[in-house]
Chain A
Amino acid sequence: MKWLQRFALSLIAAAGFSGAAYAEDLLILTEEVPVSLNYDGATASIDTNWVGWDNILDPLVYHANGAINEDGVQLLNFNKFEGRLAESWSFDEATLTWTFNLRKGVKGCDGATFNADDVLYTFARAKSVSGAAPIGWFLANTGSVDGFTPAVFAPTDDGAAARKLGDEVKKIDDYTVQIRQSAPNQLFLKVLSIFALYIFDKETMEAHATADDPWSHNWTNNDGLAGFGPYCLNEWRKNDRFSLTANPDYYRGAAVYDRVVVKKVPQSANRVAILLSGAAQIAEHLTPKEYNTLSKAKNVSVVGVQGNENMFMILNFKSPPFDNPLVRQAIAHAVPYERIIDTSYFGEAHKWQGVVPSTYPGFHVASTQYNYDPEKSKALLAEAGYPGGAGLEAFPDSFKLTYMLERESEMGPTATILHTAFREVGINVELNPIPQAQYGDRELVKKDLPMGLTAHIKPIGVDAAYGTLLSYVSSNKGGILNSANYSSDMVDGTLYGSLAEGDNDKRNEMLAAIQEQLMKDLVVIPILEFRTHWATAASVTGVVWHPDNALRLHDLKPAK
């Protein structure tokens, strides 16, 4: 066997394959590489795309560093901002105008120098809503930037006028920009720190524009992206690999790793095996069981953070008998929270005591909590008119516990535990895994899932108000997801009041009242918050948790 090994090793050497041969390179294994670099493109919601624009572009402002957690992961301070492409800023309450003083001498990968025109271009592109999914417009709208209203979608001349950037974003000089709001809104700086308002390099973007495509959507969809971030695009083969090189002129200092290759390895078991072999430095998108296994391995480091990922159950208010609060409460008391945490997440999770991420400013632990109590569940069912579950068979479609088929290895164990626990109190559910595309359609667009198990929705705007606006505000009042078709005048009214409230204590009181109401109404059944993990070679350190959970490669460095 030794001759075979020697032969193979010589072949390896001849083939140029050696993990150690690339000391300043980084190989990241993932389930998919970016299919688009256009954050206003059709696939902007696919999180495997985000490594592209998160590392090629930079924001005007970003969250300052906070504490370092027990795993060595750097956390961010969501209440404090620091300048990135903007050096400083001020706010005039009388005119609701923000003035940003831009950083000088910032160079992009293509040699362009950053100035106010790049900021105007970025907002003008967002307001043009010319991409398939206008995420930039959505964020500006959420931050109450004046003129970013739904009028831009009117397919008329009025719409065309509304889609043009006016003086709401104004160039004062090459390094000063003003942005005007239509109403006071505490989310403004927070939405600027989300990727879909990161700043483009206007000069390079326009060099790739055409008469039919003035905003270079085709180029960013297929070929490249230009900004002032720490990395430049080197090679991009969709469905295969994505390679970046460090921007030597990056204003915060060039990244330690000169070259980063993101390689698609669809099988998570293979990603684990390759990381263990030392041939790659980071493996992403693994199952809880695989992270658990890797945490015991030598030469591999698994670090985690209690971030913004969670699991909850949707019970649709439009699907009887879930319009009955007693039935909702009975189901909430039948969920064996601790068993799920121990079995499905190996203890790397905790019971969710609210309906927005507990790490976000404005989170409030509601006084109404639902613990595992089968006897109480049975009593509530009887009180609702279904003693021992009798009568629930009249709603067969409502009791299909639906989840994403592609996430079977993560969701399946939990669904099975719920199936067993519900049967113990007299509720018979049918497990119904369906393809991700179909699940997304029913959950997010048709909103007709009677009973769903979800673990993929996370608000990346770090604020309880953003999370509430995204998930629980009525659709006709600006809510986006609201998969359970929940509607409450109190929640809708108080939320918009909180956005305009300048006093932080008063604002937190309002957000607490909203969360009390949401928990009392059981807008969803919050099950658990699980830790977000990264598995790296022991030689790599410096992981920082960002709210979109994508790695910023500039943060990474070799371990001492």
Chain B
Amino acid sequence: MISRFILRRVIIAFFQLLGVSLVVFFLIRLLPADPVANLVGLNASDDAYAQAERSLGLDKSIFEQLSVFLGFSEDPGLVDASLGISWMTNEPVFLEIGRFLPVTLELVTLSLLLSFLIAIPLGMASATKPGSIADKVALIWGMFAGAQPDYWWGLLFVFVFFYVLGVAPPPMGSIDPMMSRPSVITGFLTIDSLLLGRFDVFISVLFHLMLPVVTLVFVISGAITKMVRQNMVRALSSDYILYAQACGLSKKEIGRYALRAALTPAVTLVGIFYMILLSAAVTVELVFSLSGIGQYAIRSILTFDYPAIQGVVLTVALLSLFIYLILDIIHAYLDPRVQY
């Protein structure tokens, strides 16, 4: 049953991705600029321009370009999973994304884990003891952290913790720039450094990710705390909790039952917040000089690098579909009312 459910979702995802590919392919060609001009720059004689246009394949008709993009030609394309060649760097887009994406996933995953570790106990304490200090902290944090954009908090944290107090590292990426990087195994610096026994790198990465993670956690945890609190309040006022109270169960036991009910919607929340954090990471990466997928996307858009833009959109769409598929499967396991 579950395998049929997964197969159906994968088939739907394939058509969704194909649709996204076609929409992106045609939409970016409506952008009001000429990528050839951007690349040939100051020496844009007519001859040089024509030469660059030929080398990028933009002298071909739109349908020939589509065929190249999809991979139905000699050149690398979608079908062979290389996602084409970046016009800016001349590298396969797939390889570039493989280098940039782990930086973002590392940042987002660490931030989300830490956010839930903080938000769940705080939300629970806030719901079980209304008016307590925990409740007030949750309320003020939720209002305060969300009142300013994440990049603003990032810049403020850099100013305070690095520039004024000197307790944080400079915003120069995910590792000390003078340190040699470990060989690439998974692309995730934390994992690769541990696998290779490079503890100096591991500590450096944790140290350099400290402020960007704190920034994302600071911004997102307030909202998660609020949601956990609301779910808990709803669960605590439900009939079965009233019944448990009437039966004389201890507060601890009642809290455990309520938390279970409150966390079921949190599975969906994980997916939603993961995607929110992915978009928030774009500006946080900029502030902390992290070479993540957000920076890659910005650079690709500003330079009108069509293959790279297409690659980023497809990757993010694929990531999103994958996360929601996993969550649906978990949800289906947890909630017997969900039909495959």
Contact = CB atoms under 8 A, between A and B. Distances in A.
Interface of A: 1, 4-5, 7-8, 11-12, 14-17, 21-22, 25, 27, 29, 35-36, 38, 41-46, 129, 131-135, 138, 150, 153, 217-218, 221-222, 235, 237-241, 259, 261, 263-267, 269-270, 273-274, 276-277, 279-280, 406, 435-438, 440-441, 444-446, 457, 470, 475, 480-481
Interface of B: 32-52, 55-56, 87-91, 96, 99-100, 155, 158-159, 162-163, 165-173, 176-181, 200, 203-204, 207-208, 286-287, 289, 291, 295-296, 299, 302-304
B89 to A, nearest CB: 5
Contact of B34 (A5, A138, A222, A441): A441
26 contacts: A7-B167, A8-B167, A8-B168, A17-B179, A21-B178, A129-B51, A132-B39, A132-B56, A138-B45, A222-B90, A239-B299, A265-B171, A266-B289, A273-B158, A273-B162, A273-B171, A274-B172, A436-B302, A437-B38, A438-B32, A440-B38, A441-B33, A445-B37, A445-B44, A446-B37, A457-B42
Given A43-B88, A273-B158, A12 B299 contact: no
Given A221-B90, A270-B289, A437 B204 contact: no
Interface centre among B100, B167, B178, B291 (most CB of A within 10 A): B178
Contacts of A445: 34, 36-37, 44, 49
Nearest to B299: A239
Contacts of A238: 89, 91, 96
A441 B38 contact: yes
A16 B49 CA distance: 48
A12 B181 CA distance: 17
Chain A contact residues, majority secondary structure? mixed
A12 B207 contact: yes
A440 B37 contact: yes
Contacts of A270: 158, 170-171, 287, 289
Nearest to A33: B291
Given A240-B173, A440-B41, A406 B302 contact: yes
B48 A17 contact: no
B303 A437 contact: yes
Contacts of B172: 29, 263, 265, 274, 279-280
A16 B166 CA distance: 16
B39 A133 contact: yes
Nearest to B54: A155
Nearest to A264: B289
Contact of A267 (B203, B207, B287, B291): B287
A273 B169 CA distance: 12
B200 A14 contact: yes
Contact of B166 (A153, A239, A277): A277
B56 A269 contact: no
Contacts of A444: 37, 41-42, 44
Contacts of A437: 33-35, 37-38, 302-304
A151 to B, nearest CB: 10
A133 B51 contact: yes
A4 B167 contact: yes
B48 A134 contact: yes
B223 to A, nearest CB: 26
A57 B334 CA distance: 63
A7 B165 CA distance: 13
Contacts of A279: 170, 172
Given A134-B51, A435-B302, A43 B39 contact: yes
Given A150-B47, A263-B173, A132 B55 contact: yes
Given A237-B99, A406-B302, A274 B170 contact: yes
Contacts of B47: 134, 150, 153
Contacts of A132: 39-40, 51-52, 55-56
Nearest to B34: A441
A270 B169 CA distance: 12
B177 A241 contact: yes
B55 A46 contact: no
A528 to B, nearest CB: 20
A1 B167 CA distance: 10
Nearest to A219: B90
A266 B299 CA distance: 11
A267 B159 CA distance: 13
A11 B166 CA distance: 12
Given A42-B39, A43-B41, 9 more contacts: A5-B166, A8-B168, A43-B88, A129-B51, A240-B173, A241-B173, A270-B158, A277-B162, A277-B170
Contact of B37 (A46, A441, A480): A441
A42 B44 contact: no
A269 B45 CA distance: 37
B171 A36 contact: no
A279 B303 CA distance: 31
Contacts of A239: 100, 291, 295-296, 299
Contacts of A457: 42
Given A35-B88, A132-B56, A269 B155 contact: yes
